[in-house]
Amino acid sequence: MKIIVIGASGRVGQELVNDLEKQGDEVVAASRHPQDNAGAKLQLDLHAEANEIAPQLDGFDAVYFTAGSRGKDNLGTDLDGAIKTMQAAEMAGVKRYIMLSAAFALDRSKWNNPGIAAIKDYYIAKHYADLYLVHESGLDYTILQPGTLQELPATGTTSFTPEAGSNTIPDVAAVLAELAHADNTIGKVITMHAGQTPIAEAVKAI
């Protein structure tokens, strides 16, 4: 598959690009500041309009959105930027769209939990971006909602039960890479946290 990773200079994005290339996909790494990361080959500005982004997505089989402002630009990047890439994907005729979100972004009943309440503005942005993808786009989407990201070595295992938890960054990237070729995950919102099931097996069972 020919795949573009938006947000390729981020912690998950860098790992994802490597994983996709290892499994034989043709990958273009996109970032607002490609000079910040030797692997980012395409400059893509999430503050541009959807019709300006669309030509950059032309010819791809799938779009990944892993970009994030880490609290610096929740509205412009995490919400509006994400939605514009969805609109651009549809303009460009790209059907497959895989979103990196956050655990319980669509479940407001969990937002008073201390770990979420502290970053509520981010959750609001992810909530409405996810809602748009599910209800307003015509894309073949998958939304991955991992728990707290940890900078720890990969475990190669996971769990997709709807519980609070944490994930290593390499494990999140590995799950995302598996989703590209897992048509059984189309139209699914997947909550991810640490577990004992090998990642490929867990994705296949969704």
Residues 58, 38: contact at Cβ < 8 Å? no
For residue 120, what are the contacts with CB-CB under 8 A and spacing of at least 6?
111
DSSP code for 164: -
Which of 97, 122, 128, 141 is the catalytic position? 122
Q: Under DSSP, is residue 167 helix (H, G, I), strand (E, B) or coil?
A: strand
The two three-digit tokens of residue 95, written as one number: 């059907």
Q: For residue 143, what are the contacts with CB-CB under 8 A and spacing of at least 6?
A: 98, 99, 101, 130, 133, 134, 188, 189, 190
Q: Give the whole-angstrom CA distance, residue 74 versus residue 80.
A: 8
- Residue 122 annotated as catalytic: yes
CB-CB neighbours of 68 under 10 Å: 25
**DSSP label at residue 95:** -
Which structure tokens are listed for 39? 């692997």
3-state SS, residue 133: helix
Q: Which residues are catalytic?
A: 122
